[in-house]
A and B are shown apart, each in its own frame.
Chain A
């Protein structure tokens, strides 16, 4: 049991630092799409919800699980559709002669 806990903590530590390093590089331009993308990824609660709703459990637990499946599917599907809609809008810059340096963050 405690071995699981320790390996979980190591995974948490590494994933957090990796996340911080990657997300620091996301330009402010994409902060809203980033939020909706991470929302979709956090829909990973679906994994836990599915096991609860479809596993061997009491009726109460299955109902809780089914509501959770519904909420997290909404987040997964909704988050991806929303991110796609937003990213589609970001138009590539026109080719301009005066491409100034330092505009990229």
Chain B
């Protein structure tokens, strides 16, 4: 009886799980099938868990039930309670948990089986532990920075590259010793310690604007770690699910890198964030035009085409609902309002989309950079709310600019540009934004929510009655 279970029922469960996971990801490629995809992925996980619990290797359920209950309650609480604006740190935390689980399983497996490890299992075991633990500390640091528990500026000091490289090479060396002699517990302990330290060092040097790339990369590492676990345990479901997660993180990392004009190999080895903050930022006073909400509202009243460009500033001041109200009142004035999203706007891939969705903006109004860039020349007002470097025309025109070559939203092509910003300080990259000094640009100084509120009030007073 138990043999039929193990030889037939369990593999069928795992096979079904793998199929459902793939269907789940396929579902999320389109808005109309996204929720069906979620249901499929949930079914897949149910099959995976049932299949595992039926497994004859499991003899004692007390620990399992207790740990699952605690995890499930924490998971539900943490997910329902997190506000949408805190989504980047929530996602970073879940990378940390996933990677921790993979690392610990590797650790436990080593304790149990270090006597009978072959090269075919010890190499993936080393990779699982290395990736798991470095992703765990790295993601925790990322979450801490996003929550602003840690300083968000990159932590840079002399000899940083050399130190990081040394730690990484040492970790690999410890791993090689474990492969050569699996009974060397000292080397294994060293491997875990160095992996934890490397994750720390890797992310401490990262600043806010590079967070989307880091989060994507950690996503990929966590997946690869689960895949490596599949090799250790000879479980193909783990390999498949880990590979799907790894592929997702990889694609997002590549998209983020392209959007920041950084090379992927550079990012893979943690060379990102290093160029920022040097050279530029000599802020001489240049003339710019500022306007009050009244003046801006007068211009907006007559606009037919408005493109809103949101950025991290909108998330910080939680202005998404006010911005939606602004779009509504502009539409009542007869304008067509659309939203232009740069791939790295905010702090993680898709951050702005989620915030606008929360504020009930229909998704056909939200366009990504490639689809809207051609439309700025026909737009009456481009309203930039809390975005900076992703609108800087210097990225196109000025080869001496540190951000030259980065794809940007073509905001400067609009007839009028309005920029909602707290002050004239440069963006993350420490680069002055030429956009602010154009004749057609009006600066609306203030917090995003406050300015949007002011504009809504002015515009509501003059809505044509019909």
Residues of A within 8 A of B (CB): 1-2, 4-5, 7-8, 11-12, 15-16, 18-20, 22-58, 60-62, 64-94, 96, 98-99, 102-103, 105
Contact B94 A22 (CB under 8 A): no
Taking the complex as formed, is B446 at the interface, i.e. its CB lies under 8 A from any CB of chain A?
Answer: no
Query: Could you tell me the dominant secondary structure of chain A's interface residues?
Result: helix
Q: Does any Cβ of A come within 8 Å of B264's Cβ?
A: no
Which residues on the A side are within 8 Å of B353 (C-beta)? 28-32
Since A11-B239, A75-B101, A78-B94 are in contact, a sample of 4 more A-B pairs with Cβ atoms closer than 8 Å, ordered by chain A residue number, is A31-B350, A37-B24, A73-B70, A90-B34
Given A37-B25, A68-B105, A71-B98, are A32 and B87 also a contact pair (CB < 8 Å)?
A: yes
- Known interface pairs A4-B234, A11-B236. Does A49 touch B101 (Cβ–Cβ under 8 Å)? yes
A32's nearest neighbour on chain B, judged by CB, is B350
Q: Which one, B107-115, B161-169, B196-204, B290-298, is touching chain A?
A: B107-115
In chain B, what residue has the closest Cβ to A65? B108
Q: B286 within 8 Å of A by Cβ?
A: no
Among B64, B336, B370, the residue within 8 A (CB) of A54 is: B64
Once bound together, how far apart are the Cα atoms of A56 and B34, in whole Å? 40
Query: Roughly how many angstroms separate A100 CA and B231 CA in the complex, as a whole number?
Result: 48
Q: In chain B between 196 and 241, which residues have their CB closer than 8 angstroms to a CB of chain A?
A: 215-216, 219, 222-223, 225-227, 229-241
Knowing A26-B29, A47-B48, the reply to whether A69 touches B120 (Cβ < 8 A) is no
Our pick among B45, B63, B109, B248 for the contact of A19 (Cβ within 8 Å) is: B248
Chain B residues, Cβ within 8 Å of A7: 236
Tell which of B71-79, B152-160, B179-187, B424-432 binds the partner: B71-79
Q: Are A38 and B223 in contact (CB under 8 A)?
A: yes
| Complex contact B241–A44 (CB within 8 A) | yes
CA distance A7 to B35 in the complex (A): 33
Q: Mark B44-86, 1 if CB is under 8 A from A, else 0.
A: 1100110111010111110110111011101110111010100
24 A-B residue pairs with CB within 8 Å = A7-B236, A12-B230, A12-B239, A15-B243, A22-B29, A27-B31, A28-B255, A28-B353, A34-B349, A37-B37, A46-B48, A51-B233, A53-B64, A66-B64, A67-B67, A70-B68, A71-B104, A73-B71, A74-B75, A81-B75, A89-B354, A93-B363, A96-B364, A103-B371
Q: Mark B379-421, 1 if CB is under 8 A from A, else 0.
A: 0000000000000000000000000000000000000000000
Give the docked Cα–Cα distance between A91 and B49 (Å): 32
With A48-B105, A65-B63 already in contact, the answer to whether A22 and B26 are too (CB < 8 A) is yes
Q: Which residues of B contact A70 (CB under 8 A)?
A: 67-68, 70-71, 74
Known: A49-B101, A72-B101. A42 touches B223 (CB 8 A): yes
- Neighbouring A residues of B361 by C-beta, 8 Å: 91
Query: Could you tell me if A37 and B38 are in contact, using CB atoms closer than 8 angstroms?
Result: yes
**CB atoms of B104 and A92 under 8 A apart:** no
Most buried by B among A1, A4, A46, A80: A46
Among residues 120 to 178 in chain B, which have CB atoms less than 8 Å away from a CB atom of chain A?
120-121
B448 CB to closest chain A CB (Å) equals: 20
B251 close to chain A: CB less than 8 A = yes
Closest to A42 in B: B245
Give, as a whole number of angstroms, the nearest-CB distance from B112 to chain A.
Answer: 5
Q: Which 5 A-B pairs have the closest CB atoms?
A: A73-B71, A19-B247, A31-B350, A78-B75, A77-B75
Complex contact A51–B55 (CB within 8 A): yes
CA distance A91 to B359 in the complex (A): 10
**Of A35, A39, A54, A81, the contact of B80 (CB 8 Å cutoff):** A81
**Which residues of A are found within 8 Å of B440, using beta-carbon distances?**
none
Contact status A80-B111, CB under 8 Å = no
Given A8-B231, A28-B350: A64 and B247 interface contact (C-beta under 8 Å): no
User: In the assembled complex, how far is the CB of residue B314 from the closest CB belonging to chain A, in whole angstroms?
Assistant: 15
Contact B80–A29 (Cβ < 8 Å): no
Q: Is the CB of A32 within 8 A of B48?
A: no
Whether A8 contacts B45 by the Cβ 8 Å rule is: no
Task: Tell me the smallest distance from the CB of A30 to a CB of chain B, in Å.
Answer: 6
A50 touches B53 (CB 8 A): yes
The answer to whether A41 and B21 have CB atoms under 8 Å apart is yes
Roughly how many angstroms separate A92 CA and B229 CA in the complex, as a whole number?
A: 40
Distance between Cα atoms of A101 and B97 in the complex (Å): 42
Q: B357 contacts the other chain (Cβ, under 8 Å)?
A: yes
Q: Is the CB of B38 within 8 A of A69?
A: no
Which A residues are CB-close (under 8 A) to B25? 19, 22-23, 26, 34, 37-38, 41
| B434 contacts A by Cβ under 8 Å | no
